[in-house]
Amino acid sequence: MVEILESCLVAPSEETPKHGLWLSNLDLAAAPGHTPTVYFYRPSGDHNFFSVEAVKAALSKALVPFYPLAGRLGVGRDGRVEIDCNAEGALFVAARCDYTVDSFREFEPSPETRRLFVPTADSADPPLVMLQVTFLKCGGVAFGTAMHHFATDGPSAFHFIQTWASLARGEAADALPPPFLDRTLLRPRSPPSVVFHHPEYSPDTFSARSTAPYVAAILKLSKGQIALLKSRASGGGSGYAVSTFRAVTAHVWRCLCVTRKLAPDAQTRLYLPAQIRNHVKPPLPQHYFGNALIRVSAVTTVTELVNGSPSFAVEKIKSAVDKVNDVYVRSVIDYLELQGKRCMSARNGVRDTDLWAISWLGMPMYDADFGWGLPQFMARAQLYSSGFLYVTSSPGKDGGVTAVLGLETENMHRFKDLFYEELSCLQC
């Protein structure tokens, strides 16, 4: 299905510092492993379209300011996981296959998509960044990325991709904003002081996770449908401003509970990663490179969620996020310090009563222009498990939104019907 043309390690183009980079508790609490994404590009007509040598040369330059991504995970003298900044390089693969861009008109994340377009490493010590340019039969390209979550969160990963793309377009390296690499701004206090309850990190939270087979679906929402969801969630437009993410997530959460036929008195929890960059004192530097996310959650009963108004669900989400401030963030960091390795990752899945919702709204998903135009589409290549939702901007400038949901195979068809039936009722 896929023919590998080249596979190599790309090192920084200049000498870079060699040292161990300390990782914060928020880094080590992230999902262990690589985050797989894929971009699709239509052919530009340029005979040098996605020139492998040009893309590799720009990658080598980008790895100078982002030199930790050319390293490997290691263990420091204190036994703590860190990044060994050894400049071994990022994995770069060039390949080709008989698919076309239009083959993925109805794109859905899956293990097969990841296998086709996102490289993996058999090594027990894989590169932190693995990249693949796959030339398609139509002349287009599928560009797959895998970045280790200990090294980057979403904003950090997109900052790296934007820098790489800018260098490929010929922009000067010194004109691009460098990453801020020092993560000690998020050190725990001494002694640690936990002043809140943090069930989102409890080892018990994911102990009863769903193991049912699952599929992923792309749910497209127009600008008009978003406006209807936001109006409904605000009680008919009475002046309460509801964000797109909260309106969409509330709708998915309620539909999910109905689809799964959960018991009315069952407890359902919505997990949310909350950005902390501007919520700590002082705020983190603009281009802080690392995980600047904490988990928060909203919990209620199925009856309250399903029978209550849509504004009830939105208020639960708002309350969960609004508590994030410097005091709360420091409490999370200190809690993780005390828990150590007992804190489990959401990568292991979630209970079949719960939902994980992640927002990529506002992130520069479609800014990856390597000199041959913007991508037609970009998404995760594979989801972690059932119960994960990503809310992203749709390609283009029509104001639409794309919801990417993983759900038990047996429930997906029923969920889609309910999801769009409720939207149709709003349009009546």
Active site residues: 149, 369
Per-residue b or e along 358-378, where b marks 16 or more CB atoms closer than 10 Å to that residue's CB: bbbeeeebbebebbbebbbbb
- Take residue 176 and report the two structure tokens written for it: 């691009």
In this structure, what token pair is assigned to residue 81? 């996981």
Residue 273: Cβ within 10 Å count: 20
Query: Residue 3 is inside which H or E element, if any?
Result: strand 2-10
Q: How far apart are CA 152 and CA 169, in angstroms?
A: 24
Q: Which residue has the tokens 């108004």?
A: 309
The two tokens of residue 281 are 């004192």
Q: Which residues contact 292 (CB under 8 A, 6 or more apart)?
A: 26, 153, 155, 186, 275, 276, 277, 284
CA proximity to 289, closest of 13, 27, 16: 27
The Cα 343–Cα 169 span in angstroms is 42
